[in-house]
Chains A and B, each alone.
Chain A
Amino acid sequence: MLETEFQEHNRFFLNMGPQHPSTHGVLLIVLEMEGEYVLDPQPVLGFIHRMHEKMGESRPCQGFMPNTARMDYVCALPYNHGYVSLIERKAGIEVPKRAEYIRVITSELNRIASHLLWLGAYLLDLGAFTPILYGFDDREHILDILESVTGSRLTYCYHRFGGVYQDIDDKFIEATRAFVKRLRKRYVIYEKLVTKNIIFIKRTENIGIVSPDMALRYGMTGPNLRGSGIAYDIRKNEPYSVYPEFDFEIPVGQQGDCLDRYMVRVREIEQSLRIIEQALDRLPDGPIRAKVPKNIKLTPGDCNFAVEAARGELSYYLVGDGTGTPYRLKIRVPSYSNLSCLPELARGILLPDLVSILGSFDLVIPEIDR
C-alpha cells in the first residue's frame, strides 16, 4: 500500500500491453500511475473478440463444437465437455459410462497441461526463466498423449454428443500411466526449484489478497477463489459426469494472496493425477458413443450446464426454440469474472506487484474476449 504521500505532479498514464509479455495475450491495461505506484488499473478488452455467442446461434448445435476449443485454447477439453453435456441435458441423451470415463481422463490431462503452462509462464513473469523449460517438457508428454487419441495438439474437438470421437487404446493407457509416474517424480524438482525459493516467496506472499467477500461480489471461481479458503469446485459441489465416483480433495489456501493461488494450483495437479489413476484402474468396457439422432432437436426452453474448467466455473446457458439451432447461447467464462476485480484489487500497489497479481490469476485472453 501507499506509504509515500500523493504527489499530483508525478501522475501519469502508462499503457501495459496489448503486447506486453506478462499480459499473456492481447490485453491492454491502462494504468494511472504515480511514480511506481498504480492508482487505477483499467483493463481494456476486446482485441480478439470473435462473437462466439453469435456463431453459436447461427448454426446447428453440432457446428459449434470446434468453437468451444477456441475460447480457452490452453485447456480446451473441459470446454468440449461442458458443451456436449449441455446439449445432452437438453436433448435427453444418455452417455455410456466408458465415454464419460474417457472424457474425465482427457479433461484432467488437459487441466494438468494448463497448470504446467501457467506455472512456467507465471515464473517467467516474475523473472525466473528456468521453470518454463521444465513445465513445457512435462506438458509436451501430455500433448503427445492427447494427440494420439484426439488428432490435435491444442484446439481439441474430441468429445461428441453422446460420447467421444474415438476409443482409447492400450498404448494411450500405458503412456498415461507412465506420465503419472513421471510427473510425481518431477514434483520434487519443482518443489526445490520454485516453491521454497526465497525470491519467489517474497514476490508472492501477502500480495494481491482476495477476501471471500470480494470474491463473492465479483463472482470469482476456480483456483483464484480457492486460494481465499473457499472450497468451491464444481466437480464436487455440482457433480457432473462421473466425478462423484472418484476420491479426490479440493486444495484451498488460507489468506488468498498470490502464493496461496500458486499453492492451490500445484496441489491440484496432484489431485488430477489421482483422478486419472482411479479412472484408468476402473475404466469400464462398453460402447464409447450412444446412438444420437442426426438432427438433434433442442426443445423450447432454457437450460444451464456448469463445469469446472482449469480457471473456474464455465457455464453454458442455452435457450432452445424447437429447432436444431440454439436460439440463444450464453457462455459464462471464468477469467472474465476473475479479471474484473483487478481495479479494486490493484489500487495503490507497486507496478511489479501488479505483474505478480496478473500472473497469479492465470488469464487466458481469448476466453475473456470470446
Chain B
Amino acid sequence: MAKPNKDYKNDFFHQGFDSAETDYHQRGYHLEIVLNVNQVRKFAQIAYDLGFYIVFVAGLHVRPVEGNDKECSGLEVVYQFARYDQLYRIKARVFVPKSLKVPSISDIYHGADWHERETRDFFGVIFDGHPNLKPLLLAEEDSDFHPLLKEETNLKSLDEVSWQPEVPETTEKKAKAETEG
C-alpha cells in the first residue's frame, strides 16, 4: 500500500486522553487509550469525526483493586475502532464504576447498539442512555444471569492479565550471551 500512514496518537492525546502507543506486531493494535467514565462519549465523538469505524464493544472481568471495592466493580468495557483507509487500530478501555453504569455511545455509533446489549447480557454492564437495553443473545427470562462473569476462584487482578513491562536484560544474561555468541 503506497498510501502514507497517518499516526492518530496526537489527535487523541491533545484532547486530554490517556493514550499510549503499542507494538502492533505483538498486540494487533496501535494505540491504547484508558478512559474514565465521563470521557466515553467525547472519545466516541472524536473517533467518529476522525472517520474510524466501530469494530466491537466487549467486557472483561477482573478482581477489583483492594481497598477500592466501593468504587470499582472489577469490570472493564473494551472498545475497538479501526479505519477503512489505512491500517490503524485503537483499543480503548474504561473501568466500570460500582453502579455498573457506563454512558452509551449507540447514538454516535449506531452499530454499538447490539454490542452494548451483548455486553449487558454477558457482564451486566448498564449502558446509560441506551434506547433499548433488552437481552439480545440470551433469553429474556435470563436477564439477570451473566455467563461471562468469573467465579471468585478464577478471578485474576488486572495486573496479572496485562502486558508486563519489559525487564531489562541482566548483566549476567548478557555476559552469558556474549560468551556463547
Find out whether the CB atom of A317 lies under 8 angstroms from the CB atom of B80: yes
Q: Which of B33-41, B107-115, B168-176 contacts A (4 or more CB under 8 A)?
A: B107-115
Q: Does chain B have a CB within 8 A of A215?
A: yes
Find out whether the CB atom of B111 lies under 8 angstroms from the CB atom of A305: no
Q: Does chain B have a CB within 8 A of A158?
A: no
Q: Does chain B have a CB within 8 A of A324?
A: no
Tell me the bound Cα distance from A219 to B112 in angstroms: 9
Contact with B along A343-363 (1 / 0, CB 8 A): 010000000000000000000
Contacts of A221 on B, CB cut-off 8 Å? 53
Residue of B nearest to A333 (CB): B56
Contacts of B139 on A, CB cut-off 8 Å? 46
Within 8 A of B (CB), among A210-252: 215-221, 225, 230, 232, 236-238
Contact with B along A299-325 (1 / 0, CB 8 A): 111111110000001010101111000
The size class of the interface chain B forms with chain A is 35 or more
Q: Does chain B have a CB within 8 A of A263?
A: no
Find out whether the CB atom of A53 lies under 8 angstroms from the CB atom of B122: yes
Q: Does chain A have a CB within 8 A of B162?
A: yes
Tell me the bound Cα distance from A337 to B55 in angstroms: 8
Contacts of B163 on A, CB cut-off 8 Å? 300-302
Q: Does chain B have a CB within 8 A of A332?
A: yes
Within 8 A of A (CB), among B49-85: 51-56, 58, 60-61, 78, 80, 82, 84-85
Name the one of A45, A230, A319 contacting B161, with C-beta atoms under 8 angstroms.
A319
Find out whether the CB atom of B110 lies under 8 angstroms from the CB atom of A53: no
Name the one of B110, B148, B156 contacting A344, with C-beta atoms under 8 angstroms.
B110
Interface positions of A (Cβ within 8 A of B)? 45-46, 49, 51, 53-54, 57, 89, 215-221, 225, 230, 232, 236-238, 299-306, 313, 315, 317, 319-322, 327-328, 330, 332, 336-337, 340-341, 344, 369-370
Known A-B contacts: A232-B85, A302-B91. Give 10 more (CB < 8 A). A45-B137, A215-B53, A216-B48, A217-B53, A221-B53, A237-B84, A299-B164, A302-B162, A303-B27, A327-B161
- Among all A-B residue pairs, the 4 with the closest Cβ atoms: A304-B28, A301-B163, A218-B111, A219-B54
